[in-house]
Structure 1
């Protein structure tokens, strides 16, 4: 969760969630795009025996197998970068959590992949909330997340997917949300 916003009367809490529009995704999409373009141009240069790269001379490569493999790597990298750029443009995973004490409603919204169910929305009542659960798993693949535990339903994740947030931020956000909803905080 990036930003928490309380309304003027302190009865609505809205948490904005960063999706795929993170700095790391922009970095990797750019790097893979540049690398894929270089590999593809190397493969084309070795096939046509005309240099398309200013910093190397791939015309000296034998097209089969070296130029062909470099061209295939370039196509694969460009397809991967296209996927990354589309997920950034569509902001996959981005959205918000809104807790409204005036209406007694909770709305969890995320953008998904294009198709029939592009918008992922979960609506429930504040009366259905049992607790706010903190999930912490350390080790090789650490996980730190907040979940909304509901009566008779699965736990709903509230934090972003990706790199884990710091323990202090997770504890603070969990405690503020539990205090706002008037429910216990579990898992600490």
Structure 2
């Protein structure tokens, strides 16, 4: 969802709350729970999973390794669920021609730098840069080139925009900010 007027352009950025992250966190939780349950059932010698008798898997080494994979998977799943609940990476890009300011805001992980906020003057913007790399690992990223600060990515690397959509977005933003476009 974006909002635009003659003088202000606000572009909202989705963070970790994507369908794919929910799916991966759920699949990882189920799989690692299964691994841990198999490891525990092999240790106790009780049949917690009815697919196979616990005597088929010895605790050392198979049950121990299954338990390790289960615990590691639960930690990774917990990390994903925390990132989803904190909505890491979400925020907005606000371009304000009236005040001559560009604000870039993102949510990070909890702690000292939870709120990531950058503010630049529009007159310090050198250009809008498009980076296109085609091939097996296609990469299309839109950057805001700031004098003396370097390039700030405006699109995520996993955002699958077609070259036409990327060009359209860059052209609209460059026209709005009245800066040139560079293509790499």
- Taking structure 2 as the reference length, the TM-score comes to 0.93
1:104 and 1:19 map into 2 onto residues whose CA distance is: 27
- Residue 165 (structure 2) aligns with: 169
Task: Verify: 1:5 aligned to 2:11, yes or no.
Answer: no
Pairwise CA distance, 1:24: 1.2
1:167 and 1:137 map into 2 onto residues whose CA distance is: 10
- Structure 1 vs Structure 2 CA RMSD: 1.6
Deviations 1:52-79 (A, max 9, x none): 2244444531111111111111001111
Task: Verify: 1:146 aligned to 2:142, yes or no.
Answer: yes
Aligned residue runs from structure 1 range 1-188, under 5 A? 3-7=1-5, 10-187=6-183
1:59 and 1:103 map into 2 onto residues whose CA distance is: 72
Deviations 1:75-108 (A, max 9, x none): 0111111111111111111111000111111100
Give 3-state SS (helix, strand or coil) of 1:96's partner: strand
1:35 and 1:57 map into 2 onto residues whose CA distance is: 19
Contact 1:14–1:99 at 8 Å: present in 2 too? Answer: yes
Structure 2 unmatched ranges of 5 or more: none
Give 3-state SS (helix, strand or coil) of 2:103's partner: strand
1:15 and 1:54 map into 2 onto residues whose CA distance is: 51
2:24 and 2:54 map into 1 onto residues whose CA distance is: 25
Range 159-168 or range 149-158, more displaced: 159-168
Pairwise CA distance, 1:178: 0.7
Pairwise CA distance, 1:169: 1.8
Structure 1 unmatched ranges of 5 or more: none
Contact 1:43–1:58 at 8 Å: present in 2 too? Answer: no
Range 22-31 or range 34-43, more displaced: 22-31
Pairwise CA distance, 1:168: 2.0
**Aligned residues, how many?**
184
Give 3-state SS (helix, strand or coil) of 2:94's partner: strand
Give 3-state SS (helix, strand or coil) of 2:148's partner: coil
Give 3-state SS (helix, strand or coil) of 2:150's partner: coil
Pairwise CA distance, 1:139: 2.4
